[in-house]
Amino acid sequence: MKFERYGIGIVKGLSVTIRHMLRHPTVDQFPEQRLNISRRTRGNELIWSRERCTGCGTCAKTCPQGVIEIVTATNLADNKYEVEKYQVDTGYCIQCGLCVEACPYDALFMGYSYERAKYRRGDLVQANDELQESPERPASGYFHPDIAKKLPQQTLLVEKIVEKR
């Protein structure tokens, strides 16, 4: 490549930039238009299913951060473990998903949402019924292919995104 200095490189660069000006910008105007997030997203919360959980504690042992706290009591009438308290400190959780992967009874799901800031740090510690699935707390398809099929398709940037005004 010859090192020429009379300005042809600058002219080529200018032509690329001006051509970009005539193209569509790759932008999405956030609060009004939102892209669909991934079907397997590991969102900002953890969802627990009280019916399926048996209190085995595999998730608590697997978690690298140690955020899950389980207190069980033996229910002598039915002869099985009863989970008294299942508490997750979502402030320390790094959303790695190892607990969901490890649960043998498919009782844990990652959340599908991402705007879950709280006003107080104490509110980040969630227990028992706050962790159930509900319409405000949908579950994502991470390690649950049946749920993943029902969620909307992810918006990919390789397809053309047209900005609506």
Rounded-to-integer distance, Cα 103 and Cα 107, Å? 7
- C-beta separation of 107 from 68 below 8 A: no
Nearer to other proteins, 71 or 98 (CB): 98
Residue 41 Cβ, how far from other proteins at the closest point, in Å?
Answer: 5
Rounded-to-integer distance, Cα 95 and Cα 15, Å? 45
Rounded-to-integer distance, Cα 72 and Cα 37, Å? 36
Nearer to other proteins, 10 or 73 (CB): 10
Q: Which residues lie below 8 Å from residue 119, measured CB to CB, with a gap of 6+?
A: none
Nearer to other proteins, 18 or 76 (CB): 18
Nearer to other proteins, 37 or 70 (CB): 37
Residue 20 interacts with other proteins (CB under 8 A): yes or no: yes
Give the closest residue to 110 by CA, choosing from 125, 87, 93, 85: 93
The footprint of other proteins on residues 66-105 (CB under 8 A) is 94-98, 101-102
Q: Which residues bind other proteins (CB under 8 A)?
A: 1, 3-10, 12-18, 20-21, 23, 25-27, 29, 37-42, 62-64, 94-98, 101-102, 110, 140, 142-143, 148, 153-154, 156-159
